[in-house]
Every structure is written in C-alpha cells, then in structure tokens.
Amino acid sequence: MKFLDEYRDADAAKRFAGAIRQAVTRPWTIMEVCGGQTHAIVKFGIDELLPAEVELVHGPGCPVCVTPLELIDKAIEIAARKGVIFCSFGDMLRVPGSKRDLLAAKACGGDVRIVYSPLDAVKIARENPTREVVFFAVGFETTAPANAMAVWQAAREGLRNFSILVSHVLVPPAMEAILSSPGNRVQGFLAAGHVCTVMGFEEYVPLAERYRVPIVVTGFEPLDILQGVLMCVRQLESGRAEVENQYTRCVRREGNETAQRLVAEVFRIVPRKWRGVGEIARSGLGLRETFAEFDAERRFGVTDYTAEESGECISGLILQGMKKPHECPAFGTRCTPEHPLGATMVSSEGACAAYYRYRR
C-alpha cells in the first residue's frame, strides 16, 4: 500500500537499528508520548530491535486512558437521564467509571450512540430538537479543532439542545510534569506527530532547553519510530537538547494556524486532572464563557464529582514511564480487555491493551 509499505520495510528497519547500535555508548531512556506509537512499538517489536542500552517507556499518550474517573461518571449520569442522546466515539463506551461504564448505561435504557465525528452529533441535535444531545469531547490537541468546530457550528445555527462534555488535555504540560517529578527517568522524548500537525512544535523548545532533553517530533510507522529514536540517541550522545522534526511529511514548525485560531476562539486553557497522574496546571481545555451554554457539565449540574481510583491499578505509574504493564500484578489475570480494571486496558491506544494483545 502506497505511503505505508515503504515505512514498514524490514531491510530499512535493520539499517536504522544498526545505526542506533553504532551511535549508542551508554544507557538511555526515551519516552514516546502517543498511544499510536506505543502500539506500533509493541506490535512490530521495535523495542526488541534496539540495543539493550536504549529503553523505550510509554507516556500518557492515550486520551481515553487519561480521562479522569469522575468525568466518566459524569458521562454515565448524563447518558442515563431521560430525553438525552449521548454521543461518543466507540472507545469510550467500555472505559470503566467508578461503578459501571457507558455500555451498561445503554443496556439500562440510556440512548448512547457511537458517532464518527462531533459534527455527527450536531446533525443529531438538528434532527431531534426536543431532545438534549451531548457529545463526549475527549482528546488531545489533535481532536480539539473538530470539537471546536462542532460548538462553533451549533452556535451559528442557534442549536439550544447541543452541548459537549469536555475532557481535553494538552501534551506539553504533561511532559513537563513528568520531567519535574522526583522519580523521572526520561532523558529524551518522541513527541506525537499528529499533535504537532495541529500545534506545530515551537512550544517544545523551552521544554527542551529548560530540562536539557532532546525532543524529536515523530510519526507512527516503524521506520518513523526507528528514525526518531536514532535522532534522539544521536542528540543524547552528543550532549545536545534540541527539538527536531522526523515527521517532515506532515508537520510544519508553525502547525495548522487556522485550526489553532478556531480552538483559541472556542476554548481556553484550564487546569485538568489526568487519570492516574493527578491535576496538572494549564494542561487542559475548557469552553470559553462566550460558549458556556454548550458546556454539558453546567447544563446538567454535574460539576462537583469526586471518585476514587482502584487501588490495584498502577496505570498512573505506567503513564509516567515508571512501570511497564506486565509489572502490574493484575495484568492478564484480574485485568483483561474483557474485564478491565483500568482505562489503559480498554482503549485501543492503551499500553496495557497493547501488551495484552502482542506480548502475553
């Protein structure tokens, strides 16, 4: 397949692995910050191609996994209400809240629908003027423009029955939280290419300088990841800490400025709690006051929820690169994709799900 097979070429992969082996002289720990990259690494055995000195750890790169428990509880509470049509991408439906998941709410009579775009939810609102339609707006910077567009469009049409439950998180503040934590092991980052397609990569420059870490904007295919690791290792070995772009076929330094303007018009930066990690200042997006009428939390009065995480799940440590999924005592026994204890086992981008699928 064009633009896919050439990035999975086994001979080229071996050449990159050889170049990494030649470049490395001591141990380095590198974190990828995207669940798509985590899955590619585990699925294609990229970490097993690398020399023992290079360890890849998996960061908080799956938006489903970092959505806090209380947000899931709020979604379930809203979905169960009479007259509500609750719309979501499919991967959120099986994420466990503190007592049940959205699929259970649907089984109990809630009108929960899978959509493929937030604009599908706007269409449902347009076609059902007597029902309240809510979209579960989860994601990183990558999905923020489409969610901003849905709110902007609903405002333009004067749709009074549409709202979004917002759980948007931002990648650079999470990277900074990891770098400044006392147990940090990360010495270099592979930044998520799709996030940078929207946001560009200028905001990573102060991070690289302040914490002396190389950051390489990297794509998602095996050769992208191997080249990203090689660029990162070469920087580490030569004592450089710069932002470099491996994913030049998609990412420009300034990103997509039209998308950024739309996001800035609809959303503002807020503190956000990350599941398993805790609250990180300025790490999320919330609706601006001018769009507050589209805020499902306010509309349904579900603002003050708290929930306790399962004491058994160590996904917080996994998302900070301190543990690997198979180090969790529940992995593959009490916690499986059919009966998940934590979100990292549910999502198709979760590290535990990747290890369960490819590494048991």
Are the beta carbons of 31 and 56 closer than 8 angstroms? yes
- Using the contact rule CB under 6 A, the part of the chain among 50-58, 151-159, 289-297, 324-332 near ligand SF4 is 324-332
Of residues 151 and 313, the one with the C-beta less far from ligand SF4: 313
Q: CB 47 → ligand SF4: shortest distance, Å?
A: 18
Return d(Cα 164, Cα 305) in angstroms, integer.
Answer: 17
Select from 134, 229, 335, 354 the one that contacts ligand SF4 (CB under 6 A). 335
Residue 38: in which H helix or E strand, if any?
A: helix 35-43
Tell me the three state secondary structure of residue 9.
coil
**Minimum CB–partner distance for residue 338 and ligand SF4 (Å):** 12
> Per CB under 6 A, does 341 bind ligand SF4?
yes
- Which strands sit side by side in the sheet containing 111-114, from one edge to the other? 111-114, 84-88, 132-139, 162-169, 278-287, 267-274
Under a CB-based contact definition with an 8 Å cutoff, are residues 74 and 298 in contact?
no
CA neighbor of 68 nearest in space, from 250, 356, 240, 309 = 309
Tokens coding 180: 């400044």
In angstroms, what is the minimal distance from the CB of 177 to ligand SF4? 19
Give the one residue of 80, 125, 352, 354 binding ligand SF4; rule: CB under 6 A. 352
Interface with ligand SF4 in residues 255-314 (CB under 6 A): 312-314
Q: Given candidates 299, 344, 347, 349, which one binds ligand SF4 under the rule CB under 6 A? A: 344
Distance CA 302, CA 136 (A): 14
| Member of 345, 347, 349, 354 binding ligand SF4 (CB under 6 A) | 345
Spatial distance between the Cα atoms of 10 and 30, rounded to a whole number of angstroms: 22
Span of 49-57, 163-171, 301-309, 338-346 interacting with ligand SF4 by CB under 6 A = 338-346
Cα–Cα distances in angstroms (integers) from residue 260 to residues 177, 197, 219, in the given order? 23, 11, 20
Closest CA relative to residue 348, chosen from 38, 29, 67? 38
Using CB under 6 A, pick the residue from 159, 318, 319, 354 that binds ligand SF4: 318
**Least spacing, CB of residue 334 vs ligand SF4, in Å:** 7
# chain residues binding ligand SF4, by CB under 6 A: 16
Rounded distance between C-alpha atoms, residue 54 and residue 191, angstroms: 17
Contact region with ligand SF4 (CB under 6 A), list: 143-151, 200-208, 258-266, 330-338: 330-338
Point out the residue whose Cβ comes nearest to ligand SF4: 342
Among 31, 174, 328, 354, binds ligand SF4 (CB under 6 A): 328
- Footprint on this chain of ligand SF4 (rule: CB under 6 A): 312-315, 318, 325, 328, 330-331, 335, 340-342, 344-345, 352
